[in-house]
Structure 1
Amino acid sequence: MTGESVRGFYDQLAESYHLLYRDWSAAIVRQGDVLYGLIQQEIGDGSATILDAACGIGTQSLGLAAHGHRVVAVDLSPVAATRAAGEAAVRGLALPTAAADMRALPFRADSFDAVVCADNALPHLLTPADLRAALGEMRRILRPGGLLMATTRDYDALLETHPQSTAPQATTTSHGRAISFQLWNWHNDGEHYDLELFQLTSHHDVWSTHIGRATYWALTRQQLTDFARTAGFERPVWHFPEQTGFFQPALTARNPMSP
């Protein structure tokens, strides 16, 4: 998948992204609490300067900003980044946002204490070259000793069964109901898949359907660990939902300290 197609997928989804959650506001708080705890565990107490490298509409950025961190949020989709800024303003949070490609981040070297790339964003990068470019950029903008945190689906488990769909998620809107689910079409290599996201929404009992399409690389934990090490990160550790309460496995790794 090209950058343009990923951007188009999220540009179209930005207005209704919150419908992927039963309660998006509660998810912001819950995810922010967990990520805050992991960051605190890794780099200590106090306010950190954090880049959210794939912020979407702000699910993780808003939660971290509410904990007092200085968060900068970027996303390939300018529509999603703009919505994240608006959601921050409504909540009285400081959250600078911009449209940016994680393979070419518009920041000086050594600018951040931590980089967060959550909610299965890295698997949009479909080639080793793209993944190496993104991780290299994240390391470049981290200060010595800085923290990388990335979360993905549990592809180690999913690759055992190659599921064809996800369970539907229903939520209530101000006008009616909404249902979201995904269909997955696996490529012959067994590692990549095309996703079709269906969102059905009712407005006073009249239903409409939106379908978005994207492609993912089902990266195993070992693959992502190896890519992080190749990019120069040290001390990779995986943290699992049963330990953290986060809904996806999370990889943490450190930028080496300067000699």
Structure 2
Amino acid sequence: MTGYDVLAEVYEWLISDAKLPPAEFAASFDDVLSLLPSNAHVLDCSCGTGQLAVGLAGRGMRVVATDASEAMVRRTAELSEEFGACVRAVRANWEELPDHFEDDTFDMVFCVGNSLHHAAGATGRGAALESMSRLLRPGGRLVLTSRTWELVRARGSRLDIRDRLVRRNGRDAVVVYRWEIAPHWEDEHHIEIAIAQVDATGLVLVRSELLSCWPYRYEELEVELHRVGLRTEVSTFDLEAENYMVVASKV
């Protein structure tokens, strides 16, 4: 796992305009949320700065938010306080989740924001999925979003500089991704993310973090979900699309 502790302070520049307001982020999952009772018990186990968790709490759900980064958990707690939302924020990586929560606890578990690839290889990914499955009640659902790694690897190592400034809190920034694509799927890959903030005087402040990741094919993910007792109900996987979502229910 990697921590995002540096990027946590500027993570809002990585969130799209449409998903920055908590209510709008939650609304992007309206289709799956319609399957839940109003007081559902929900876990966001890669919560980032808390936009989704706070949005879900705003709908009356009982929400727990976890992240491997202490800084992300702190920012989630701060956002919850700002919105007056009741969110329990806990620092925990995926493997530690069963140490904090009983099995069969949650109606829905979210693992979104392209986070699963930070689990270390097939073994780490399997352990992460096993932990998430354990915490779901029978019939509960895992909602997972992922990059289309088949597409990412086909493009090879590269520098991706976003073509426009992003404005947050009255400040502009340029977002840069540097991809290090390893020779083989099972090898450790790297993404360096840099956020270059530009102030009113033209001064540039750069924050960057080098993140490890282990990509996976969609077909591998399907097998791993089945192995931990989850059955795919919905999949938006498309080899030509940048990202996809999978909704899988616990058998």
* TM-score normalized with structure 1 length: 0.86
The equivalent residue for 1:229 is 226
1:72 positional shift: 0.4
The equivalent residue for 1:170 is 165
Contact 2:166 2:172 in 1 (8 A): yes
1:149 positional shift: 0.8
Structure 1 pair 233–74 and aligned structure 2 pair: CA distance change class (3 A): same
Contact 2:38 2:59 in 1 (8 A): no
1: CA distance, partners of 2:167 / 2:61: 31
The equivalent residue for 2:145 is 151
Structure 1 pair 68–184 and aligned structure 2 pair: CA distance change class (3 A): same
The 3-state SS of whatever aligns with 2:75 is: helix
The 3-state SS of whatever aligns with 2:147 is: coil
Structure 1 pair 153–237 and aligned structure 2 pair: CA distance change class (3 A): same
Structure 1 pair 62–46 and aligned structure 2 pair: CA distance change class (3 A): same
Query: 1:96 aligned to 2:93?
Result: no
1:186 positional shift: 0.8
Of 135-144 and 213-222, deviating more is 213-222
The 3-state SS of whatever aligns with 2:29 is: helix
Contact 2:109 2:142 in 1 (8 A): yes
* TM-score normalized with structure 2 length: 0.88
Unpaired stretches in structure 1, ≥5 consecutive residues: 242-246
The equivalent residue for 1:34 is 28
Deviations 1:124-159 (A, max 9, x none): 012211111111111111111110111011223323
2: CA distance, partners of 1:186 / 1:177: 29
The equivalent residue for 2:217 is 220
Contact 2:156 2:181 in 1 (8 A): yes
1:210 positional shift: 1.7
The equivalent residue for 2:203 is 206
Of 173-182 and 107-116, deviating more is 173-182
1:174 positional shift: 4.3
Number of residue-to-residue matches in the alignment: 244
1: CA distance, partners of 2:19 / 2:221: 30
Pairing 1:60-79 to 2, within 5 Å after superposition: 60-79=52-71
What amino acid is aligned across from residue 107 of structure 1 in structure 2? F
Query: 1:251 aligned to 2:246?
Result: yes
Identical positions, percent:
25
Contact 1:104 1:134 in 2 (8 A): no
1:70 positional shift: 1.4
Unpaired stretches in structure 2, ≥5 consecutive residues: none
Identify which of 46, 52, 56 aligns with 1:54: 46
